[in-house]
Amino acid sequence: MRPQSLSRKAECKLKVAMVLLPNFTLLALSCLTEVLRHAADDGDESRQVNCSWDLLSVSTNPIMSSSGITVTPNKTLECDLTGYDYIVIIGGKLPKDCLYPDAYIQFIKSCRQQGNKLIGMCTGTFALARAGILKNVRTALHWYHYQEFRSHFPSSIAVTDELYIEDRNIITCAGGAASSDLALYLVEKHLGKGKVIKCLRHLILISAREARQSQTPFDLDIPQFSDVRLRKAVFLMEQNLEDTLEITQLANTLSLSQRQLNRLFLEHTGMSPSAYYRSLRLRHARWLLDNSEQPLDHIALGCGFSDLSHLTRYYKKQYKQTPGSTRSLRKKAQAELEPEQSGSLAEFMHE
């Protein structure tokens, strides 16, 4: 590296080290680096003037992302971490039993002991939790990983209705596109609002979302409720479709009485909490019937019903047909479509 570049890096107002875990996600990495890249220079020459970043791993050998594309780190975990404002742990595809190579876990523990500010991005939060530093810490998670995280790390406070959270000098981010929202937050904090506006214009983004904005619900047909208590209630329901929550337990979690929770649901959905919860489980059952080959009784149990007859009774009320009929109609439609697709392919090959 040229001496001039070293001098510029020394004057950076925001220095970030990104640790790439095996099978990390490219989206989290690119969202973070692209925001930093546009904030780093006054023009568009990608010079690391206002901020800088390095890619770290156990070695400087190429490391594979979850998509199969490899990236080459420029430093190892043994490098000098002096001067970095944030150490970002970027995860992706989870390892078996959420067990990471010991080198990464020891690195995270060492960073915590030395007072480095850590960020868990995407499933990088799992590595932080495995290192034992997320006990009683509010942790932002992608909704998809909620149950798995809770089962492995019950002492952490898992949150899925916020994009990123800062708690006890640790930042956690749900990942995906929320990585750019977190990056914009860091840029504003260290470099000012002007740099955020520049990033938004160059990346063709309308605005940075606030940390407490909800993630997209599991079912896209579910409305985006404006009441934060209702959003949290629905998220908890979505995350407990199989092992259903008692309504009293749900109300207690939200610091509401059962009567207040009932009034909230009736006002916004026209249904009681129990009825709304059941409608979510029925939606999920229908999705499984259309998109999987699971046996009907397995679907019933997996959606929180005591048996297939229990599911069938409520399913007929909501969809005017039995679960078996839904699956039969789907298979019939597929069978009718296959000859048409085969004929179209044959015509194309003939041409």
State yes or no: pLDDT of 175 exceeds 50: yes
Rounded-to-integer distance, Cα 6 and Cα 347, Å: 62
State yes or no: pLDDT of 349 exceeds 60: no
- Give the residue extent of every domain in the chain: 3-202, 228-328
201-227: average pLDDT: 76
Q: Is the dihedral of CA 220, 226, 228, 233 positive or negative?
A: negative
State yes or no: pLDDT of 11 exceeds 90: no
Say whether domain 3-202 belongs to CATH 1.10.1740.10: no
Q: Is the dihedral of CA 238, 240, 246, 250 positive or negative?
A: negative
CA–CA distances in Å: residue 271 to residues 15, 259, 263, 280, 281:
50, 13, 9, 12, 14
State yes or no: pLDDT of 32 exceeds 70: yes
Rounded-to-integer distance, Cα 250 and Cα 309, Å: 26
Six token digits for residue 68: 């199969």
Beta bridge partners of 165: 172
State yes or no: pLDDT of 338 exceeds 70: no
Say whether domain 228-328 belongs to CATH 1.10.3720.10: no
106-113: average pLDDT: 98
- Residues 173/178/184/187 CA torsion (nearest 10 deg): 20
94-106: average pLDDT: 96
State yes or no: pLDDT of 113 exceeds 50: yes
96-103: average pLDDT: 96
Rounded-to-integer distance, Cα 198 and Cα 218, Å: 33
pTM of model > 0.85: no
pLDDT for residue 160: 81
State yes or no: pLDDT of 7 exceeds 50: no
Answer for the pair 265, 232: CB distance below 8 angstroms, yes or no: no
pLDDT for residue 112: 97
